[in-house]
Amino acid sequence: MDRNLKIKIFCLDNMIWLILGVFILICSIFVPYFFNYKNIMNILYHSSFLGILVLAESLALMSGHFDLSIESTLAFAPGIGILIATKWFPEIHPIFSIIATLLVGAGIGLFNGVCIAKIKINPFLQTLSMLIILRGLVLFLIPFSISNLPEIFVFLGGSKLVMNIPTAIFVMFIIFFLFRFIFKRTRYGRIFIATGGNREASFIAGVDTERIIVSAFILSGTLAAMSGLLVAGRQNAVTNAMGTNWVLLTFAGAVLGGVSLSGGKGTIMGILGGTLFLGVVDNVLTLVGLSVFLVYATKGFLIFIAIVIDQYKTKFRREILQREILQREKLKDISIK
Amino acid sequence: MNDLRREFEAGKNDFLKNNTILRLENITKIYPGTVALYRVNLAIKKGEIHGIIGKNGAGKSTLVNIISGIIAPTEGNIYVKKRKYKSLSTNMAKKEGISIVTQTPQVIPDYSIVENLFYPNFMASRNGLINWNKINYEAKKLKDTLNFNISLESRMSDLPISQQQIVLMIKAFFLEDSQIVILDEVSTSFSKKDQIYLFKIIRKHKSEGKSIIYISHRADEILEICDQVTIFRDGEKVSTKNVLSLDKESISSLIVGNEKNKKKYLNKFTNSKNKKNFKQKILTVNNLRLNGYFKNISFELYKGEIIGVAGLMGSGRTEILKTICGVYQPHSGELKIGNKKIHIKNPSHALNKGIIYLPENRDKEGLISILSVRKNLNLSLLARNKKAKLINLKKEERLTEQLIKKMDIVVASPEQETNDLSGGNKQKVVLGRILASKPIIYLLDEPTKGLDIGAKKSILRIVKEDLSKLGGILITSPEIEDLMLICDRILVLFNGKIINTFIPEEYNEKDIYFSMQGSKH
């Protein structure tokens, strides 16, 4: 394959980053107060909460399913964690509240995964019921909010490190790079994506597909709990409304990042790009003083654009590769003659 | 103009004389690279059951698709009653009274039987209202006259496939007023009881002066129900004969044809074959049974051996392979790998023990079509190496390139989605994936299905020269020649039982085909 073709393919596969770059460039020139250190940190900080949730949703999508319950898990898991540390077992070390939060998230994922992969409940209905159940429980357990959280509990979401960079940004990047590594370099990541692409074929090829799907939901739940931990840290409180209506935005981020709703498609860097793009758009539209409701509508419009672009991108990619194949076959014929 | 008129008159006379209801004249269908049908002439008379028989790829389905209007012929004319057509559309075929019932029934699963019977018109009045009383009454009447013993209210999806097909046939025979009904290998999944009922309603339909085109693999069925039989071979009509002049053996030899030409092709491949001694037993199958599909299956597979499994559609060949690799759980019987008894839980477990299955349906079960060639090629290898947590990308790239070269896969880049490859290249990717995982027992289910001659030959060569060095192979194919080319032994399946075994000295396409029809020597 010649270099030209390689570059073309590379650009197509990383289109969201190109779009993001161009968009940032335009905004830096035309939008005042956009391109400065404080604002960029602000965008990254706000993207970190949603970003981890987008990753949670993307994992479920890439495994060929989806998870509506993550936005309730986002409130429920830290809720239980903090109740353990402050009310139920006040004498326990506060670090356990963090561990409990993540375990609760994993537990919810495990339950979803087992019901979907083994009992074969439709993922929409399964996670929809969890979405409602968990939100109801949160509203019951935490009538309004719990504030004055232990210091260690708010460290990840509320503190700042070197150069005034919020810890949450590091957390987001660490998680994304960890998953990038998993999907690029590990056996698990590879058979995960294959299962999402075609469950039947992967099963026959010798993959333990049930286990993969359960693990996808466990990861999704754990990441949602992690996101909840950061959100609680940011506001120094666990409220019962945390994460409401976020799940639809996670679909937006995932689709912008090139994840397919039918599974098996998507890259971690793409997902990160999609999330950051959502964050930048949100920030810019607020800076220019657009009504919040129009900002919301714009995000919806972005999903639509993303899908249309994706269609054309796939077609174009296919065409240039097909042309290459034809050329090769011709060359082969000539060499035979 | 005059020519046309004369032709029309001639056609008319012809119809009047012979009572012909459908006539095909010089029908040819050319696909890029292959001729599916060549100059076929065929006449179907009123009140006749006309059987069509031939091997896979003989042109039966193409013919059926042309008559029912699904595809257009490249050349030739179709006469229905008095009208001449260059090609039919499905709508026109329907209007002319031609209906078709296929092997996979086209039903609406959540409708009741009554609703399926009267779909899509529901005998509605002009304003679109449905009179359910009338429909139920008609359905009841039909049920009583036909002795049809299934509750009319039950949902279509609750019925087994065979009964769904019977419902569709009743609809085509008695409700749609079809003059010609094409039955395209409908009886593959039928039990004896279903078949008796089917033949009963076919005869009733015939007694009303209507015609049936009956396509089948099975000579015994054709001999029992048909009046005339047309035999196809390699896209050409061999002959049309009265059924009374035929028996199973003469039909088999007409289907298979002259063997002389094929022997040459065979020798090219097999001259390297020296008498082999197989010593190391790697798989023992003992009395394996899967209810409804097969029973009493016993055989042994040795290292380096290639066993062919020949059988008609529905004989259980796919199910046997799928059971050995753990997709289905057998109801009784045992498997031994080497000398160790083993219970295979699922394909993942099978792969661990060195058994891998190449599925018949490569797009649905063989490939992850949205993933790249590289990821597909390495999937089984990764699934097998549970201990290796990390992928060595350099090594993987090297292996991928080796496989692409060895299997001669034409791709633009290893990163290309397998979706966009041609059929032959897709199959090579699946085969490459299997080869890369280095199992010892290969279960290959129709690896040459739907491939052109070039791709077919190279796949067979890979099986013969590469796979057989690594272990034992069980292979099925719709084409007996393919099996004769590479197999050390051919087992013949009929109705889920092994009824015959052939060794290379006895290889003879006619005999094997005859045996597949259910006759022991």
* Beta strand segments in B170-280, E: 180-184, 211-216, 228-233, 236-242
| Half-sphere exposure at residue B42, Cβ-oriented, CA atoms within 13 angstroms | 30
Contacts of A202 in chain B (CB under 8 A): 368, 379, 383
CB contact A321 to B (< 8 Å): yes
Residue B329 phi, psi (nearest 5): -100, 125
| CA–CA distance, B496 with B320 (Å, rounded to integer) | 9
A147 touches chain B (CB under 8 A): no
Highest mean pLDDT among A104-118, A144-158, B64-78: A104-118
Residues of A in contact with B383 (CB under 8 A): 191, 202, 205-208
Contact across the interface for A321 and B380, Cβ inside 8 Å? no
Quick one: pLDDT at residue B4? 53
Instruction: Please give the share of chain B, as a percent, with pLDDT higher than 70.
Output: 92
Size of interface A-B (CB pairs under 8 A): 113
Percent pLDDT > 90 in chain B is: 27
> How confident is the model over B350-372, as pLDDT tens digits?
999 999 999 988 888 999 988 99
Answer with the residue of higher pLDDT: A336 or A316: A316
- Cα gap A48→A71, rounded to integer Å: 15
Confidence category of residue B272, pLDDT binned at 50, 70, 90: very low
ipTM > 0.85, yes or no: no
The pLDDT of residue A192 is 94
Residues in B touching A316 (Cβ below 8 Å): none
Q: How far is CA A85 from CA A76, A81, A228, B220, B447, in A?
A: 14, 7, 16, 78, 61
Q: Which 3 state secondary structure label does DSSP give B301?
A: strand
A187 with B365: Cβ contact below 8 A? no
> Is A191 at the interface with chain B, CB within 8 A?
yes
CA angle B363, B367, B369 (to 5 degrees): 80
Confidence of residue B2 (pLDDT cuts 50, 70, 90): low
Q: Over the stretch B102-148, which tens digit does the pLDDT of each residue have?
A: 878 888 888 888 888 888 777 777 787 888 888 888 888 888 888 88
Whole-angstrom distance, CA of residue B349 vs CA of residue B249:
44
- Residue B351 CB contacts under 8 Å (≥ 6 apart), including other chains: A205, A206, B380, B383, B384, B437, B439
Cβ contact (<8 Å) for A198 and B346? no
pLDDT digits (tens, 9 = 90+) for B135-161: 888 888 888 888 887 888 888 888 888
pLDDT tens figures, B282-319: 999 999 999 888 999 999 999 989 999 998 877 888 99
In chain A, residues with a C-beta closer than 8 Å to the C-beta of B416 are 321, 325
* B323 reaches A (C-beta below 8 A): no
Secondary structure (3-state) at B333: strand
Q: Say how far apart CA B482 and CA B262 lie, in whole Å.
A: 11
**Chain A residue with the nearest C-alpha to that of B431:** A205
Contact A207 B365 (CB under 8 A): no
For the segment A94-111, the average pLDDT, to the nearest whole number, is 94
A208, A324, A328 ranked by CB distance to B348: nearest: A208
The H-assigned helical ranges of A67-186 are: 70-83, 95-117, 123-141, 151-158, 167-185
Of A1, A187, A200, the CB nearest to B412: A1
Minimal Cβ distance to A328: which of B350, B357, B410 = B410
The rounded Cα B136 to chain-centroid distance in angstroms is 37
First CA to last CA distance, chain A: 23
| B335, B286 Cβ separation under 8 angstroms | yes
Kindly determine whether residue A9 and residue B384, on different chains, have CB atoms separated by under 8 Å: no
Distance (Å, whole) CA A277 – CA A51: 10
Angle between helices A209-235 and A37-62 (to 10 degrees): 150
Q: How far is CA B521 from CA B173, B222, B290, B298, B511, in A?
A: 39, 21, 26, 20, 9
Reported as a single tens digit per residue, the pLDDT across A18-50 is 989 999 999 999 888 888 888 999 999 999 999
Looking up tokens 């004319």 gives: B77
- Which residue type, as a one-letter code, is found at position A161? L
pLDDT digits (tens, 9 = 90+) for B379-425: 999 888 888 788 888 999 999 999 999 888 888 888 888 888 878 88
Lowest mean pLDDT among A24-33, A172-181, B29-38, B396-405: B29-38
Instruction: At B325, list the tokens.
Output: 């690799």
**CB-based contact, A265 to chain B, within 8 Å:** yes
Q: Judge whether B245 is closer than 8 Å to chain A, CB to CB.
A: no
pLDDT (0 to 100) of residue B214: 93
Find the helix packing angle between A151-158 and A209-235, rounded to 10°: 100
| B433 at A interface, C-beta within 8 A | yes
Closest-CA distance, A70 to chain B, in angstroms, reads 27
- C-alpha span between B26 and B73 (Å, rounded): 10
pLDDT at residue number A335: 65
Are A203 and B375 in contact (CB < 8 Å)?
A: no
Count CB-CB contacts under 10 A for residue B268: 11
Contact by Cβ (8 Å): B103, B188: yes
Report how far residue B135's alpha carbon sits from residue B133's, in angstroms, rounded to the nearest whole number.
5
Residue of A nearest to B433 (CA): A205
DSSP strands (E only) in B255-331: 281-290, 294-302, 306-310
Q: Is the dihedral of CA B489, B493, B496, B497 positive or negative?
A: negative
List B301's β-bridge partners, or say none: B283
User: Which of the pair, B14 or B441, is modelled with greater confidence?
Assistant: B441
Q: How far is B75 from chain A (nearest CA, A)?
A: 29
pLDDT computed for residue B445 by the predictor? 92
pLDDT score of A121 more than 90: yes
* Residue B69 parent element (H or E): none
B377 touches B400 (CB < 8 A): yes
A200 touches chain B (CB under 8 A): yes
Predicted confidence band of residue A108 (pLDDT cuts 50, 70, 90): very high
- Neighboring chain B residues of A191 at a CB cutoff of 8 Å: 379, 382-383
List CB contacts (< 8 A) between B327 and chain A: 203-204
Asked if the Cβ–Cβ distance from A191 to B379 is below 8 Å, we say yes
Q: Is the pLDDT of residue A10 over 60?
A: yes
Closest-CA residue of chain A to B373: A194
Residues of B within 8 A of A185 (CB-CB) are: 390-391, 393
**Picking from A49-63, A249-263, A296-310, B298-312, which range would have the lowest pLDDT averaged per residue?**
A296-310
pLDDT for residue B276: 63
Mutate: best of B324, B365, B370, partner A, most A CBs <10 A = B370
**pLDDT class of B6 with cuts at 50, 70, 90:** low
- pLDDT at residue number A314: 81
Beginning with the edge strand found earlier in the chain, give each strand of the sheet holding B20-31 in spatial order: B34-45, B20-31, B75-80, B83-85
Q: Which residues contact B114 (CB under 8 A, 6 or more apart)?
A: B135, B136, B139, B152, B153
- How close, in Å, is residue B369 to chain A by CA atoms? 7
Interchain contact B378–A (C-beta under 8 A): yes
- Using a CB-CB cut-off of 8 Å, the residues of chain B touching A197 are 368-371
Give pLDDT tens digits for B208-249: 888 999 998 888 888 889 999 999 888 888 889 898 888 888
pLDDT at A77 over 60: yes
Quick one: closest CA in B to A188, which residue?
B389
Q: Give the integer Cα–Cα distance in Å for B433 and B441.
A: 14
CB of A329 less than 8 A from some CB of B: yes
8 Å CB contact between A143 and A85? no
Query: Bridge-partner residues for B239, per DSSP?
Result: B231
Between chains, do B410 and A197 touch, taking CB under 8 Å as contact? no
pLDDT digits (tens, 9 = 90+) for A314-333: 888 888 887 877 777 777 66
Over chain B, what is the mean pLDDT?
Answer: 85
Q: Which residue in A180, A187, A326 has the most chain B C-beta atoms within 10 A of its own C-beta, making it the best mutation to test that interface? A: A187
CB-based contact A190 B379, cutoff 8 Å? yes
- Give the ranges where chain A is alpha helix by DSSP (H): 3-13, 15-30, 37-62, 70-83, 95-117, 123-141, 151-158, 167-185, 187-197, 199-204, 209-235, 246-256, 268-287, 292-336
Q: Which of B346, B359, B389 sits opposite A186 (nearest CB)?
A: B389
